Chain A
């Protein structure tokens, strides 16, 4: 099995730390980006929009690759969904 390249490792590490950033800062982000989709890169919110489609458009304009960028929805009200 071919090992991960340095670039692939960087992508993974970046993504993982951005997911952790979202988790740690959830309450702060919830105040600022309620009911919005946000993109996080390098522990910063780099794009935000009301719909995912608009967010993807903004990401494209900013040259952000959605395949390796954290995209999350920040709900204003939390509805528990069980599955």
Chain B
């Protein structure tokens, strides 16, 4: 069983389990490091607009759907991307995931610091992963 260390950190008023990963060039996203909350309540893995920091989202990016997570979000698909995680032995491991971009559908967001990026169940289920206290666990079948 491979283990990927997660970081416990304060975000949005609570201690969250955060995973860092690296996105290599994928669509309009060039090399980008992301810290995302692992959220088993989200069906999507997405990078929030605030984590794109200044990167313009292409107008022709296909919108998958609109969801209400914290606020109404428009979910755009970047496509299947290669993301890299680091395991407990400091080995870099590649994964493929359908990466999305979440853009608030309303003008005014009442979330201090903006919407976080999320690792959702699409990624966790695809690789049979579970969230532990200290690690993201890649379970054996």
Contacts and interface: CB of A to CB of B under 8 A. Distances in A.
A66 B52 CA distance: 8
Nearest to B11: A72
B106 interface: no
Given A23-B8, A81-B13, A16 B20 contact: yes
Contact of A4 (B13, B35, B69, B84): B84
A67 B55 contact: yes
Given A68-B31, A83-B70, A75 B112 contact: yes
Interface in A1-51: 1, 3-4, 8-9, 11-13, 15-16, 19-20, 22-23, 26, 35, 37
Interface string B1-36: 000000111101110001010101000001111010
B24 A71 contact: no
Interface string B50-91: 100111000000000000011000000000001010100000
Contacts of A15: 20, 22, 33, 35
Interface of A: 1, 3-4, 8-9, 11-13, 15-16, 19-20, 22-23, 26, 35, 37, 52, 56, 66-68, 70-73, 75, 78-81, 83
11 contacts: A8-B24, A9-B92, A13-B86, A15-B22, A19-B18, A23-B8, A66-B53, A68-B31, A73-B113, A75-B13, A81-B12
